[in-house]
Amino acid sequence: SPAAPAARRPRAMRISVVSLAGEPVATLEAEEDWTKFDVCRQIPSRPCAEGVAPPSPHLFHGGSELAGCTTLASLGAGDGALLQLVWQAPARREVLTASADGTTRIWNPDTGECLRTLDGQARGVTSAMFSPDGEQVLTAFSDGTARIWNADSGDCMLRLVGHGKRIGSAVFSPDGQQLLTASSDRTARLWSADSGESLLTLAGHGGHINSASFSPDGAQVLTASFDGTAKVWDAESGTCLRRLEGHGGRRVMSANFSPDGALALTASDDCTARLCSAASGECIRMLEGHDNFVMSAVFSPDGGQVLNASSDHTAKLWSVDSGECVHMLAEHRGPVLSVAFSPDGAQALTTSSDCTAKLWSTVSGDCLRTFDGHRGGVTCAAFSPSRCGP
């Protein structure tokens, strides 16, 4: 019988590995069938303190990651190819809660243990969120100030002063370079996250601005006001681009963009939430079913669902496509004030004036854990982010 053909030997090639800043890390004699495991064996590990989990390496070529069983050849990396190395810190899986008792707490969501308490020694905390990289926490206070904290040490790094009245919300821009605050002084402001300098003031609402959020690309801002409207603004010039109405003049409690930026979601004390075109303002769908004010509403990370918080002591999960209620989350003993999705959308947080926050499964609707320890209503909650990329 004829001899079996010899197996083809993987083609040898030279590749270079560089850091995110473009600095050389290693030059390797590789083979086209190498996977991430093969490459990483040849790269010096990054030192870390004793007892601290080491960072994990991620390799990218042309914007695509070399991961799992992906080979250099399948990624299009040939002889002379350049791989970019990104070191990612161990994933931070934490939950953040803000309270009228003046404190912000960071919790382990798996055990319910309170890990750190951020005490601004000021009037009630109205909102709190992690920075996009999870390294910092931004809080807003009823005394008209906002603060940036080190998420690990709990040290206050920066204090923002400029609003004349209560700040209802404070958020980071998607790139973490700017901050956005909404105030009862009828203005929203953009700030430098590095210096705390006030960069731009958005003025034009006729009532308190209760919330403000960035579009996914950071180019626009959406504000919600007690004057019965939401407004879309240009984040660079401060020009009002669009006025969203539809709640019959009732107070708009919150407003958020969909993950693709195409829709605007507003929550109102008319007991409804509305989905509108962010470009035209046309109402696409109204979510009805609560017996009291809808205090806040957010999109799931994939944009397929909406979660509402209501003064009727419940939160409701809705399908964006059908407008049907998927789950009612009903274990709080007081008005539900805010809601948040986990980065993967599988879990959700609710906060209440009953001084607790609760963790839920968005799949089953079951309550998984209660975070109990604040001495005042819990006004806001957030998950730590989960991101990696070149």
User: Cα separation of 127 and 131, whole Å?
Assistant: 13
pLDDT digits (tens, 9 = 90+) for 220-235: 999 999 999 999 999 9
Mean pLDDT of 179-198: 97
* pLDDT surpassing 80 at residue 91: no
Question: Taking all residues of the chain, what is their mean pLDDT, rounded to a whole number?
Answer: 91
Per-residue pLDDT at 6: 53
Q: Give the model's pLDDT for residue 90.
A: 59
Across 148-162, b (16+ Cβ under 10 Å) vs e yields bbebeeeebebebeb
Query: What confidence score (pLDDT) does residue 70 get?
Result: 85
Residue 46 clears pLDDT 90, i.e. is over it: no
At 348, is the pLDDT very low, low, confident or very high (cuts 50, 70, 90)?
Answer: very high
Please tell me the distance from the alpha carbon of residue 299 to that of residue 197, in angstroms, as a whole number: 30
User: In angstroms, rounded to a whole number, what is the distance separating the alpha carbons of residues 371 and 230?
Assistant: 32
217 DSSP assignment? T
Q: What is the pLDDT of residue 51?
A: 44
